[in-house]
């Protein structure tokens, strides 16, 4: 039995999350599902984007399924996503990107770096403090080495140590941890790394990097899979995990049924892997592949299907593969 908190959020979040939730309920109708209301619309309506009560509910969850949230560049508004990651100490942000001839796992530090939240405004400048701590770096480095051990035992460390002291600190710690773990490494400056991942994705396995670099690298890497509508992510802490698409609330297409729900549905696949149900995770992935092969695709992938149609097709592939297994007598 798991407590799953479901936070659809803003924009296309409430459009893609129902499809993902149906897939999760298909595997686990017996789990407890708790909906919560948070985000920018919630802020406009109530003056609070994330109430203390909602935060407590999130803290008590085993698993969180999260849509997306609009974060306006309004100095009075603070990102709910960043606050949740920090409050729940979800320190590892995993963003898998795979396809024909490549299988990459981006491991993004998720609680500090340029998103430390330590910012201030002076008369003629605004400052944001980029914090890279030993503890923060060591735990993400260890996490990435753990992932590498289960894969090709190789780690790429994305950095900008040539110009940033904080990155040279991060790099040294990652190298120490990789050496202890017996993982081979290569170091790459993040700017050239972004291009090389796009040109030669097959060269990469696990890539660890600091917060903002992982943010930018993962959006760019979405190109390899057809766009932002395809990539899921897992935000992992010590005792709980939050699953959300890499994409945002996409206000430009919200409310039109155009959003691709695959990134959100893939979040369920990651969630199932996280709870140790790899065969079910693979089933979800296969159902997605069959749906795409049938030509049931939203416009971002060149199709004409709606969000709901894609969700229904994935679910019906799952249901028919279950039937093919025969009855559970």
* Contacting residues toward ligand NAD, per CB under 6 A: 12, 16, 68-71, 81, 228-229, 244, 247-253, 259-260, 263, 298, 300
Which one of ligand IPM, Mn ion, ligand NAD, none interacts with residue 175, CB within 5 to 8 A by kind?
A: none
* 167 token code pair: 């990155």
Please choose, out of 47-55, 79-87, 176-184, 288-296, the segment that lies near ligand IPM by the rule CB under 6 A. 79-87
62, 103, 172, 219: which one is catalytic?
Answer: 219
* 28 token code pair: 């686990």
Distance CA 262, CA 259 (A): 9
DSSP 159: E
Q: Which residue is nearest to ligand NAD (CB)?
A: 248
Q: 232 in helix, strand or coil? A: strand
Active site residue 328: no
Smallest distance from Mn ion to CB 207, Å? 15
Smallest distance from ligand NAD to CB 178, Å? 29
Active site residue 205: no
Distance CA 16, CA 170 (A): 36
Active site residue 215: yes
Active site residue 33: no
- Under a CB-based contact definition with an 8 Å cutoff, are residues 28 and 2 in contact? yes
Q: Whose Cβ is closer to ligand NAD: residue 12's or residue 272's?
A: 12
What residues have CB less than 8 Å from 208, skipping those under 6 apart?
107, 108, 109, 140, 141, 144, 155, 156, 157, 158, 174
* 232 token code pair: 């899921």
* 180 token code pair: 């202890």
- Under a CB-based contact definition with an 8 Å cutoff, are residues 238 and 251 in contact? no
109 lies in the site for Mn ion, by CB under 5 A: no
- Under a CB-based contact definition with an 8 Å cutoff, are residues 153 and 124 in contact? no
Please choose, out of 74-82, 117-125, 155-163, 292-300, the segment that lies near ligand IPM by the rule CB under 6 A. 74-82
Which one of ligand NAD, ligand IPM, Mn ion, none interacts with residue 122, CB within 5 to 8 A by kind?
A: none
10, 160, 167, 204: which one is catalytic?
Answer: 160
209 lies in the site for ligand IPM, by CB under 6 A: no
Distance CA 208, CA 170 (A): 10
Which one of ligand IPM, Mn ion, ligand NAD, none interacts with residue 259, CB within 5 to 8 A by kind?
A: ligand NAD
44, 48, 165, 191: which one is catalytic?
Answer: 191
What does DSSP say about strands 63-68 and 3-9: parallel, antiparallel, or unpaired? parallel
* Cβ-count burial 40-64 (b if 16+ within 10 Å, e if not): bbbbeeeeebbeeebbebbeebbbb
Q: Which string of x and - marks every residue 196-215 that binds Mn ion (by CB under 5 A)?
A: -------------------x
Exactly one of 19, 54, 57, 71 binds ligand IPM (CB under 6 A); which one? 71
Q: Note the Cα 164 to chain centre separation in Å.
A: 26
Q: Residue 258 — φ and ψ, nearest 5°?
A: -95, -15
Q: How many residues does the chain have?
A: 329
81 lies in the site for ligand IPM, by CB under 6 A: yes
Which one of ligand IPM, Mn ion, ligand NAD, none interacts with residue 263, CB within 5 to 8 A by kind?
A: ligand NAD
Active site residue 172: no
Q: Which residues bind ligand IPM (CB under 6 A)?
A: 71, 79, 81-82, 215, 246, 248
For Mn ion, the binding residues (CB under 5 A) are 215
Which residues carry out catalysis?
Answer: 115, 160, 191, 215, 219
């Amino acid at each position: 039995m798991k407590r799953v908190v479901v936070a659809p959020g803003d924009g296309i979040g409430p459009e893609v999350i129902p499809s993902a939730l149906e897939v999760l309920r298909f595997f686990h109708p017996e789990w407890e599902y708790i909906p919560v209301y948070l985000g920018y619309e919630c802020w406009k309506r109530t003056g609070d984007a994330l109430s203390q009560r909602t935060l407590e509910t999130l803290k008590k969850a085993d698993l969180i399924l999260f849509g997306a949230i609009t974060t306006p560049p309004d100095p009075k508004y603070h990102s709910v996503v960043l606050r949740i990651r920090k409050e729940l100490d979800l320190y590892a942000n995993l963003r898998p990107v795979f396809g024909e001839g490549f299988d990459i796992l981006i491991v993004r530090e998720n609680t500090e770096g340029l998103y430390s939240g330590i910012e201030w405004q002076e008369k003629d400048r605004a400052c944001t403090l980029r914090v890279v701590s030993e503890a923060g770096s060591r735990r993400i480095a260890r996490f990435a080495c753990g992932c590498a051990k289960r894969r090709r035992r190789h780690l790429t460390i994305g950095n900008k140590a040539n110009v940033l002291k904080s990155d040279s600190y991060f790099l040294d710690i990652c190298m120490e941890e990789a050496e202890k773990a017996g993982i081979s490494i290569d170091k790459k400056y993040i700017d050239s790394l972004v291009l090389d991942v796009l040109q030669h994705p097959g060269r990469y396995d696990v890539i660890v990097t600091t917060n903002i670099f992982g943010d930018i690298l993962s959006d760019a890497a979405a190109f390899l899979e057809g766009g932002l509508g395809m990539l899921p992510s897992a935000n992992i802490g010590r005792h709980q995990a939050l699953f959300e698409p890499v994409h945002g609330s996409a206000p430009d297409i919200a409310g039109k049924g155009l959003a691709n729900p695959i990134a959100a549905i893939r979040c369920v696949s990651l969630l199932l892997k996280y709870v140790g149900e790899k065969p079910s995770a693979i089933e979800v992935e296969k159902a997605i592949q069959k749906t795409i092969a049938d030509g049931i695709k939203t416009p971002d992938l060149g199709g004409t299907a709606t969000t709901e149609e894609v969700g229904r097709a994935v679910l019906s592939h799952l249901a028919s593969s279950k039937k093919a297994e025969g009855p559970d007598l």
